[in-house]
Amino acid sequence: MTATILHHEYDRLKREATILAGALTELSQRATLYRQIFLESRGNHAFPIIAAHGALWAGGYFRFGMRLGSVLSWQYAWQPELRRRQLQKLDEFADVFRDINRRVCIDTYVNFHFTKQYGDHPEAIMYVDAELLEPLNRIHAAVRGDREMTETEKQIVFEAHFRHEQDHIVGPALTQAAAEFDWPLMRTIALRPIVTFSYFPQRTWLWFRNFASKAERIKQGLTAFEIASDVGWRGVDAALKTYDVLPDGYFAEPMAYFHEFRNAILGPSWERSV
* Domain definitions of the chain by residue range: 3-243
**pLDDT for 269:** 67
171 Cβ partners below 8 Å, 6+ apart? 214
Count the neighbouring beta carbons within 10 Å of the beta carbon of residue 88.
10
Give me the DSSP letters along 150-180.
Answer: PHHHHHHHHHHHHHHHIIIIIHHHHHHHHHH
What residues of the chain score a pLDDT lower than 70? 1, 269, 271-274
CA distance 115 to 153: 18
Tell me the pTM.
0.92
pLDDT score of 271: 61
Identity of the residue numbered 137: N
Run of H or E residues at 260 = helix 254-266
